Structure 1
Amino acid sequence: MNHLQLIDVLVLVGYFSAVLGVAWWAFLKNKNESEGYFLAGRDMGWIAVGTSLFMSNIGSEHLVGLSGTGAASGLAVGHFEWLAALILLLLGWVFVPFYLRSGVFTMPEFLGRRYNSACQTYFTAISVIGYVLTKISVSLYAGGIIIQEATGIDLWLSAGAIVIFTGLYTVVGGLRAVVYTDILQTVVLFVGSFVLVGAGLDAVGGWSELVHKAPEGFFSMWKSASHPEFPWTGILFGAPILGIWYWCTDQCIVQRTLSAKNLGHARGGTIFAGYLKILPVFLFILPGIIARVLYSDMDASSSDKALPRLVMNLLSPGMKGFFLAALLSALMSSLSAVFNSCSTLITWDVFRKWKPDASEATLVSVGRWTTGLLAVCGLLWIPLMKYISSQIYIYLQSVQGYIAPPIAACFLLGLFISRINGTGAVASLAVGFILGFSRLVLELINGPQKDGLAPGTFWELFAEVNFLHFAAALFVVCSVVLWGVSLLTPAPELAQIEGLTWAHRGKGGSVKETETQSRHRLNEFLSVALVLLILGLWFWFR
């Protein structure tokens, strides 16, 4: 992989040309309408919605990270992938009908309607800051490393090229370009991954040999409650909280369902994405286990090298270029999703409040300029990243886990309990932020060697408790605050919660809320089948 040949370069050039062609087609379709730019005209079918949901979640750091963790500890990390399949059903059957009925463009806008403008402002700020500091920087860092190892080009120059190219096609085509390039990129990613897994299994001697030679417990997903990374208690009680926040309330994800033609296609897209989420365990985690078996010198400390090492040693010329295109597909897909979602948040929740009478063309123009600005921010962040240690880099990722519980509580309880009000939501978000930020600070103080805090103290326990257990506990605390403060303050007016809670959801009836009887039955059948399939896989790899 360190020396690409001419055929590899030609494959990459062909791929990039195809992506730009799709973006230009999307530009011609948008016609300077805000719905076309930010929500792809709200006319996406279930295949486009499903593949875009999947690819928005899969970045190059996701591939490298999953294979690395697979090499270090086996299939257990796959819990997050299969749990996501079930959470996607929750998105399609519970959350999406409310989102479509409200006609919102953004998740902070929905939170603002359900509670108040303070909640909307908080969620907007947290989302944008979190995107820039974690998702954009992490994607660029991983992508830069991939290109550097493949071509020898400087990491920061590589990351800069990625920002410019991804920002260009996102600026030009908006969400329509993001969604349709996701379809292309899903195909490229799956083909490349299937080829790599096939080559790896052939080198090992087949599936049975892989299971036999892998370290003990690598194919057992359910770990003890004391496991440092994936305790079964954390998987059952903490991981779903993070999943609800990410899959059901995150702008980057939910925006794909808002682009659907109607409820039937939105729901079908979430179900299709759920089936796609079964595959990462076999396509992205399995290569890490294969590398652990093939290379005796590989251990947990060098596990992140699993994927590039397999590619370098097993793939032939041409396929190396194709797999590099697959990795870049994942990177650019997640990065473009963040760019578009951030521009939607800033344009819709900030600029439109300032200029409520802005024309459609103005909103699209602001969205494009905002995307460009975010790309510049990414470029400016690149030289600073080299001064951040890998441990800080990991901590930045965990920020998402610390802000998820209060947001998940406000969305989930807000849908099902009409009595909850804006005052309770603000209090819950504030308490959640303080506790989550405190955990992050104490974790930093304790340091990578875990010797910065006095042993045996409450502060050390607070900093070192498994992050999934922490998320579950924080969700309970935030829910109690949300419910308690709401009971002590006036109930919300009926007009404010009409159509936004389960008890006052109404029957709907708009075009966006329609779902034919045949499609509804098909979606029900496929949903039940998906649940049974996930339960069967969990039992098989217990």
Structure 2
Amino acid sequence: MNATAFITFIVVTFLVGVISWFKTRRHKITTSAGLFLANRTLSFTAVGSALFFTNISAAEFVGSSESVYVNNMTVMAWGISSVFAMLVVSEFVIPVYLKGAMSTTPDFLENRYDPGTKKLVSFLFLISYMVNLLPIVLYSGAVALNGLFHFSDIWHISYGSSIWILVWCIGLVGSLYSILGGLKAIVISDLVLGICMFTGALLLAYFGLSHVGNGNLQEGIHTILTSKTEHFNSIGTSADAVPFSTIFTGMILMNLFYWGTEQVIVQQALASSDLETSQKGIALACAGKLLGPLLFILPGIIAVHMYSSMQNTTEVFSRVVSDVSPPILSGFIAAVIFGAAITSFSPGLNSASTLFTLNLYKPFKEKKGRTVTEADLLRNSKRFEMFASLLAMFIAPLIIFSSDTFYTFMQKINAAFSIPIFTIMFVGFVTKKVPPIAAKVGLGFCFTGYILTQIVFDTGIHFLHILAILFLLTTTIMLIIGKLFPMEKAYMAQNKQVVDLKPWKNRHWVNGLLLLIMILLFVLFSRSGIAT
């Protein structure tokens, strides 16, 4: 371990923590709204940075670089195409949530269907967070840090043992951050770390390209643009990790779910002061997503020109940073990676706690006839966060046994929970009389169908296409049930007038520009562009 790199890592991490404390020291958490929604006072920069950095965990650095090194830039489609989904959510979904003063996305399901559907979906969200989202964040952070500092060599222990130790270190720090600081502290850290991340990415690109060019930046750029250019291709075939056709089937559905339904993401937008602020914040997050090729994919391209083979491809990003960066930059990037892990883990915990406390614990107590105070909600939410974090820390190291590439594994597990929930949300948005029983049947059918096609039967069809087929079948079943057994009274959304619902007047031309850039990026990284 390089002493300079490690000292830089400690100093930068400490400074981010101090800045977050300084900016939130007068923000006393005395209510559940303060813990979960920062009292709905976030600015558009805070919303945008929180949305972007909550989405960007160490998994993005680790998974994207590995996928580009092993395959090509088809993995780029996940981040770039999500811009379309984010703008759809900004225009049509967020206004509904804010209009109903909703604290969690399952609140919509209670209004649209019934309390039972809300509880069922809240339970599925919690399972997803504790066995998938939180463990993946911890594991990817541990892999990246071990690759940067080589703790397994320093401590003279196995690779697996070092991952266990690092998972628990990240998990404990992230738990304290969420429990003590709440959402306000998390979004302040996101803003600071966002600036650090873009700075680190630019510096890493400079040193990486210079390394490929034997000390000459221009020669490095020339090298990656003229050799092994097939790795620049983002238009995938059926043989690639992400076939281009999947963008228009399962991928768009998963992106719509993630940005419009996933509690850990939507909660950031719901904490905005009004609709205009939320829409500006989402547009800012879109701009960040469009920079994804520079941030997460270029290190993989650089690795292609540095290493003919690697035994452990999950360490592609970490090895590039270690081999091309001066010690100060290595420590700086390690601090960003650690911060990314913390500020993805902490919002995940905060959102899981929100779902448990408001959607399960509070209704259960009130059903028993007991009065639930704010102090009681805060106390039990923090207890649940401790339980969820401990469970995630036990599960995370087991991901090492996955046979898929890390990014593919992560998306396949996400899909098991996302599409069933998204489908019943979608039907709830576009219909008025489909009954609660249809939502419950739809959840069961879609979830069971996905598990059978991925574990029991080998269909030979890409899992994203399977998701689109299940979405259509589930929607059809729900509509048939709605036709046969419609609700007596049509659903009507209520305006609770908690925040100003006036939309951002400049959103259309800004959104159009963002979509144009999205399309141009696919053209640039294709065989018609630089992947010739």
What TM-score comes out, normalization by structure 2 length?
A: 0.89
Q: 2:458 matched to which residue of 1?
A: 460
Distance verdict in 2 for CA 1:480–1:352, change over 3 Å? same
Letter in 1 for 2:72: G
The equivalent position to 1:199 in structure 2, one of 203, 207, 223, is 207
1:477 and 2:461 aligned:
no
Match of 1:157 in 2: 165
- TM-superposition CA deviations, 1:201-224 (whole Å, max 9, x none): 2223243421211243x2222223
Query: Identity rate of aligned residues, in percent?
Result: 25
Aligned to 2:180: 172
- Does the Cα contact within 8 Å between 1:403 and 1:432 map onto a contact in 2? no
Aligned to 1:505: none
Q: Assess, with a 3 A threshold, how the Cα gap between structure 1 residues 106 and 360 changes in structure 2: closer, same or farther.
A: same
Give the alignment partner of residue 290 of structure 1, picking from 285, 302, 309: 302
1:417 aligned partner, one-letter code: T
State yes or no: 1:186 paired with 2:194.
yes
Q: Does 1:412 align with 2:426?
A: yes
The answer (yes or no) to whether the contact 1:424–1:486 under 8 Å persists in 2 is: yes
- Residue type of the alignment partner of 1:220: N
Kindly state the Cα deviation for residue 492 of structure 1 after the two structures are TM-superposed.
5.0
- Does 2:270 align with 1:258? yes
Helix, strand or coil for the counterpart of 2:304? helix
- 1:532 to 2:516 alignment: yes
Decide whether aligned partners of structure 1 residues 389 and 509 sit closer, same or farther in structure 2, where only a CA change above 3 A counts.
closer
- 2:62–2:144 Cα contact (<8 Å) kept: no
> Hey, what's the Cα distance between the residues in 2 that align with 1:460 and 1:76?
24
Answering whether residue 130 of structure 2 is matched by residue 126 of structure 1, we say no
- SS of the residue 1:535 aligns to: helix
Taking the aligned partners of 2:481 and 2:496, their CA distance within structure 1 comes to 35
The match for 2:387 is 373
In 2, are the aligned partners of 1:136 and 1:338 still within 8 Å (CA)? yes
Q: 1:396 to 1:283 in 2, by over 3 A?
A: closer
Q: Tell me how far 1:317 sits from its aligned partner.
A: 1.4
Gaps of 5+ in 1: 443-458, 501-507
- Give secondary structure in 2 for the equivalent of 1:514: coil
> Following the alignment from structure 2 to structure 1, what is the Cα–Cα distance between the partners of residues 247 and 290?
17
- Higher mean C-alpha displacement, 135-144 vs 277-286: 135-144
Picking from 231, 255, 264, the partner of 1:243 is 255
Query: Does residue 349 of structure 1 match 2:349?
Result: no
The change in CA–CA distance for 1:383 and 1:468 in structure 2 (over 3 A counts) is closer
**2:321 equivalent in structure 1:** 311
Cα deviation, residue 151, structure 1:
4.9
Instruction: Give 2:450's match in structure 1, choosing from 427, 430, 436.
Output: 436
8 Å CA contact retained: 1:229, 1:466? no
TM-score in terms of structure 1 length: 0.88
**1:56-95 correspondence to structure 2 within 5 Å:** 56-95=54-93
Structure 2 unpaired stretches of 5+: 156-161, 213-218, 527-532
**2:492 maps to which residue?**
498
Give the C-alpha shift of residue 490 in structure 1: 2.4
Report the count of equivalent residues: 505
For 2:121 and 2:164, locate their aligned partners in 1 and report how far apart those are by CA, in whole Å.
Answer: 31
Deviation track 1:389-424 (CA, whole Å, cap 9, x = no partner) reads 445986565122133222222222221222322122
Q: Is the 8 A contact 1:26 1:174 kept in 2?
A: no
Work out whether residues 98 and 501 of structure 2, in 8 Å CA contact, stay in contact via their aligned partners in 1. Answer: no
Alpha-carbon distance between aligned partners in 2 of 1:168 and 1:17, rounded to the nearest angstrom: 17
Decide which moves more: 369-378 or 9-18: 9-18
CA contact under 8 A between 1:395 and 1:440: conserved in structure 2?
Answer: no
Residues 513 and 281 (structure 1), Cα distance of their counterparts in 2 relative to 1, 3 Å cut: same
Moved more, 154-163 or 203-212: 203-212
1:221 paired with 2:219, answer: no
> In the aligned structure 2, how far is the partner of 1:281 from the partner of 1:481?
40
Task: Tell me, in whole angstroms, the C-alpha distance in 1 between the residues paired with 2:410 and 2:78.
Answer: 19
> What letter corresponds to residue 246 of structure 2 in structure 1?
G
Q: Secondary structure at the match of 1:126?
A: helix
- Alpha-carbon contact 1:221-1:538 (below 8 Å) kept: yes
Tell me how far apart the structure 2 counterparts of residues 235 and 78 of structure 1 sit (CA, whole Å).
11
3-state SS, counterpart of residue 27 of structure 2:
helix
Computed over aligned residues only, the root mean square deviation of the Cα atoms, in angstroms, reads 2.2
Structure 2 distance, partners of 1:18, 1:395, is 31
